[in-house]
Amino acid sequence: MAKQDLYEILGVSKNASEDELKKAYRRLAMKYHPDRNPDDKDAEAKFKEAKEAYEILTDAQKRAAYDQFGHAAFEGGMGGGAGAAGGYGGAGFSDIFGDVFGDIFGGARGQAGGRGSSRAYRGSDLQYNLEISLEEAVAGTTVTIKIPSSEECTACGGSGAKKGSKPKTCPTCHGAGAVRIQQGIFAVQQTCPTCQGRGEIIEDPCPVCHGQGRLKTQKSLSVKIPPGVDTGDRIRLSGEGEHGGQGGPNGDLFVVVHVKAHPIFTRQEADLYCEVPVSFTTAALGGEVDVPTLSGSVRLKIPQETQSGKQFRLRGKGVTPVRGGAIGDMICKVTIETPVKLSEEQKELLRRFEESLSGNHHRPQEHSWLDRVKKFVDDLRS
């Protein structure tokens, strides 16, 4: 069954601000909170859906990934801002409900003396798709990329509270970040719906960052592309991914290489291929043609009686593999070019030339092909 749209779950539009998302989530949390709806599985499920939607849509990277790919962005390990460390599909029941059974097993967040958000976590890995030319891929290069990022708000020092004020202890959880619920013989706890596990609320948010404590920005990164890379190769930039939570380490940024199609060459692993058009006269009598390579033009000798499709190998004119190994070759495929826009005199010369060709020794491939066709037809009739 298809998953419900996250914006529809919260009842907001797709361009809703963070404040609108927060208000919508608080309204649903108060309505469907398990503490207010004991033994109501439907209310519990709706509370879970609302919390999942809120956690994704208030995260800039995850929201961008969801807007582009939908729920598929968080399934199967897709890149682009929602890696396995912070994805929607990988969240378990205990993650969503804030370690509900933590009291039983002794690992609850928000125990006495500590806030629910005090546990550090690693930021998600991000992916950047980089398109480069074949020349850059073969020779290597250094490029500058810009990626979305965030930085601490200088106006509030990262607290999220307006200058001159400070966050206050959450009145619901009293700074624990979690609320305790007694369900029969079980004592369970879940993330506080008022402060979302932070243990604090901001009554007077900073007007610059709107209570987030961080500002969206862009940062430029210099990426060194090693010689020999090909489409699909990844370059890892450690610590340049999504920011970690509560002092945790940042995720990594993976730059995925995509090599643009080239007007002359095609690449297969370490070898380069190109088609070389030659005139009918050069193919028949032999000669030399200039052939481009990535390191400059070379002269290619065309033997007489060369047929269309003949391949010539230029050793060492290919690609040095990025992971080591012998340098590849350039494979040149000859294509015979038929003359066009002939004058009447030229046409007459060709007719006379055609009449002068008699015997199988002038056109061995044609006559061999005709013999095979005749045999094929005779076999069908027999």
Q: Considering the domain boundaries, does residue 99 fall inside one?
A: no
Q: Considering the domain boundaries, does residue 374 fall inside one?
A: yes
pLDDT at 184: 57
pLDDT at 124: 81
CATH for 285: 2.60.260.20
Q: Considering the domain boundaries, does residue 292 fall inside one?
A: yes
3-state secondary structure of 302: strand
What percentage of the chain exceeds 90 in pLDDT?
Answer: 22
Q: Considering the domain boundaries, does residue 334 fall inside one?
A: yes
Assess whether 322 and 360 both reside in one domain: no
**How would you label 52-81 residue by residue, b for 16+ Cβ within 10 Å and e otherwise?**
bbbbbbebbbbbebbeeeeeebbeeebbbb
- Asked if the model's pLDDT at residue 40 lies above 80, the reply is yes
Which residues, 6+ apart, have CB-to-CB distance to 268 below 8 Å?
none
Residue 70 pLDDT grade (very low, low, confident, very high; cuts 50, 70, 90): confident
pLDDT at 131: 93
pLDDT (average), residues 2-16: 86
320-341 pLDDT, tens digit per residue, is 888 888 899 999 999 988 888 9
pLDDT (average), residues 180-191: 68
pLDDT (average), residues 288-297: 88
Residue 369 pLDDT grade (very low, low, confident, very high; cuts 50, 70, 90): low
Which of these, 194, 154, 186, lies nearest to 170 by C-alpha position?
A: 194
Assess whether 270 and 328 both reside in one domain: yes
Side chain identity at residue 306, one-letter code: T
Side chain identity at residue 139, one-letter code: A
Assess whether 361 and 309 both reside in one domain: no
Assess whether 312 and 356 both reside in one domain: no
Assess whether 330 and 355 both reside in one domain: no
Q: What angle do CA 293, 295, 299 make, to 5 degrees?
A: 50
Assess whether 355 and 326 both reside in one domain: no
Residue 38 pLDDT grade (very low, low, confident, very high; cuts 50, 70, 90): confident
Which residue stretches of 258-363 are H helix? 280-285, 344-356
Give CA–CA dist 97/181, Å, rounded. 12
Q: Considering the domain boundaries, does residue 305 fall inside one?
A: yes
pLDDT at 121: 66
Which residues, 6+ apart, have CB-to-CB distance to 162 below 8 Å?
156, 204, 205, 206, 207
Tell me, what DSSP letter sits at residue 303? -
Q: Considering the domain boundaries, does residue 197 fall inside one?
A: no
Give CA–CA dist 359/364, Å, rounded. 9
Side chain identity at residue 318, one-letter code: G
Which of these, 322, 336, 320, 201, lies nearest to 277 by C-alpha position?
A: 336
Give CA–CA dist 224/139, Å, rounded. 12
pLDDT at 259: 93
Give CA–CA dist 70/65, Å, rounded. 7
pLDDT at 378: 73
3-state secondary structure of 288: strand
pLDDT at 187: 63
Which range, of 32-46, 236-250, 262-276, averages the lowest pLDDT?
236-250
Q: Which helix (H) or strand (E) holds 300?
A: strand 296-302
Assess whether 332 and 271 both reside in one domain: yes
pLDDT (average), residues 33-44: 83
Q: Tokens representing 66?
A: 């969801």
Q: Is 177 left (phi over 0), alpha (psi -120 to 50) or beta?
A: left
- Asked if the model's pLDDT at residue 76 lies above 60, the reply is no
Assess whether 363 and 303 both reside in one domain: no
| Greatest mean pLDDT range, 96-105, 109-118, 182-191 | 182-191
- Asked if the model's pLDDT at residue 116 lies above 60, the reply is no
Residue 106 pLDDT grade (very low, low, confident, very high; cuts 50, 70, 90): very low
Q: Considering the domain boundaries, does residue 128 fall inside one?
A: no
119-176 pLDDT, tens digit per residue, is 566 778 888 899 999 999 999 999 999 888 777 788 887 778 888 888 888 888 888 8
- Stronger pLDDT, 155 or 76, i.e. the higher one: 155
Which range, of 37-46, 74-83, 128-137, 275-284, averages the lowest pLDDT?
74-83
- Stronger pLDDT, 262 or 250, i.e. the higher one: 262
- Stronger pLDDT, 187 or 140, i.e. the higher one: 140
Give CA–CA dist 174/168, Å, rounded. 10
Q: Considering the domain boundaries, does residue 245 fall inside one?
A: no
Residue 182 pLDDT grade (very low, low, confident, very high; cuts 50, 70, 90): low
pLDDT at 245: 62
Which residues span the domain enclosing 376?
351-382
pLDDT at 363: 64
- Asked if the model's pLDDT at residue 276 lies above 70, the reply is yes
What percentage of the chain exceeds 70 in pLDDT?
Answer: 81
Query: Residue 100: exposed, middle, or buried by beta-carbon count in 10 A (0-12, 13-18, 19+)?
Result: buried
Assess whether 331 and 377 both reside in one domain: no
Which residues, 6+ apart, have CB-to-CB distance to 334 below 8 Å?
275, 276, 278, 283, 302, 306, 307, 308, 309, 310, 311, 312
309-318 pLDDT, tens digit per residue, is 999 999 999 9
Give me the number of domains the chain comprises: 2
pLDDT (average), residues 288-310: 89
Q: What angle do CA 236, 251, 225 make, to 5 degrees?
A: 15
Give CA–CA dist 245/116, Å, rounded. 12
